[in-house]
Amino acid sequence: MYKKYFSFLHKVDQSTHESALVDKYEDSNHLIELRHVEKTYHTDAGDFTALRGVDLQVNAGEFLAIIGKSGSGKSTILNMITGVDRPTAGEVVINGTAVHKMQENQMAVWRGRNIGIVFQFFQLLPTLSVLENIMLPMDFCNTYRPNERQERAMSLLKMVEMTGQANKLPTELSGGQQQRVAIVRALANDPPIIVADEPTGNLDSKTADAVFSLFDELVGRGKTILMVTHDSDIERRVGRSITVADGEIVNQTGDYKIFNQASTVGGNPS
Ligand SMILES: Nc1ncnc2c1ncn2[C@@H]1O[C@H](COP(=O)(O)OP(=O)(O)OP(=O)(O)O)[C@@H](O)[C@H]1O
Ligand SMILES: [Mg+2]
């Protein structure tokens, strides 16, 4: 039902995605690559190792589900990919960029342009309207001309049939509506990668299904999606799933698609 709006996502100045930041790793053949990633948290109660040598490759255009018990390390893996947290050892390479080496001041803008993040509890800013929430990533990363941002935000809202709610506050929306806003906010800068941490965890099954369909259509338009989920239905419907247990990937199912390396960050296949 959202299909007719997706062509809009490709009207992007792709040059804005390629910033001359950081170390380039020319030897990675994948859009996302984790190499022997370890993460140890140092707490008052002692050290806790949350990731124990995670190796993961994701190609452009994949829809990957990440499953596993509570505390197994799923969110920690996503945090390594988004650069929200850094590995204790190992490497995180995204489209040839060494994320684990990036300076803090470079990280936020790089993330804002390359990765859209969707959370379980939506995390919309409560004092901003729906429209302002969606414009915020464009303002922050200075993508699109200021006079284009509102129009783009409205087009994104149209995609999820929510233009009528543009001026409402997030608290005035249902859970499903808030999550739809959060998803289109993640699309604001047209990032090639979407990372979602249990995005349907707080939705009823019908709303969860609609939200999943939205993600599915985004994959159809060339986005690469990593989604943590407890929903076994969703797990069956994605291309590939990995199971995490005690900080390790213990199982992989599904298709490991080999895509042409031309499909890289900022260069979505159409
Ligand atoms: N900042 C932190 N400091 C110390 N320990 C942490 C920290 N963040 C996570 N951990 C620990 O690391 C382990 C993995 O946490 P993580 O949040 O990745 O689990 P998860 O698989 O996402 O679980 P859930 O399904 O409950 O969200 C857990 O045991 C957690 O307690
Ligand atoms: Mg988690």
Of ligand 1's listed atoms, the one at least distance from the Cα of 73 is: 18
CA of 80 to the centre of ligand 1 (A): 12
CA of 71 to the centre of ligand 2 (A): 7
CB of 71 closer than 6 A to ligand 1? yes
Which long-range contacts link 251-260 to residues 24+ away (Cβ below 8 Å)? 256/59, 257/59, 257/61, 257/62, 258/59, 259/59, 259/60, 259/61, 259/62
Report the pLDDT value the prediction gives residue 247, as an integer from 0 to 100: 98
CA dihedral 99, 102, 107, 113 (to 10 degrees): -50
Cα–Cα dist 63/48, whole Å: 30
Torsions phi, psi for 97 (to 5 deg): -95, 130
Cα–Cα dist 214/219, whole Å: 9
**CATH fold label, 3-254:** Rossmann fold (3.40.50)
Question: Which of helix, strand or coil describes residue 114?
Answer: helix
Cα–Cα dist 132/198, whole Å: 24
Report the pLDDT value the prediction gives residue 169, as an integer from 0 to 100: 98
Question: Which of helix, strand or coil describes residue 202?
Answer: coil
Atom 4 in ligand 1: residue holding the nearest Cα: 41
> Exposure of 47 by Cβ count < 10 A (0-12 exposed, 13-18 middle, 19+ buried)?
exposed
167-211 pLDDT per residue, tens: 999 999 999 999 999 999 999 999 999 999 999 888 888 888 888
As a whole number, mean pLDDT of residues 253-270 equals 46
Strands 97-98 and 115-118: unpaired
Give the start-to-end residue ranges of the domains of the chain: 3-254
CA dihedral 231, 247, 60, 224 (to 10 degrees): 40
Q: Which are the contacts of 70, defined by CB distance < 8 A and separation ≥ 6?
A: none
CB of 49 closer than 6 A to ligand 1? no
CB of 243 closer than 6 A to ligand 1? no
CA of 74 to the centre of ligand 2 (A): 6
Cα–Cα dist 154/139, whole Å: 15
CB of 42 closer than 6 A to ligand 1? no
> Exposure of 144 by Cβ count < 10 A (0-12 exposed, 13-18 middle, 19+ buried)?
buried
Q: Whole-structure pTM over 0.75, yes or no?
A: yes
As a whole number, mean pLDDT of residues 38-45 equals 96
CA of 7 to the centre of ligand 1 (A): 38
**DSSP H or E segment with residue 233:** helix 232-237
The pLDDT of residue 162 is above 80: yes
CA of 53 to the centre of ligand 1 (A): 16
CB of 222 closer than 6 A to ligand 1? no
- Only one residue has tokens 């007719």, namely 4
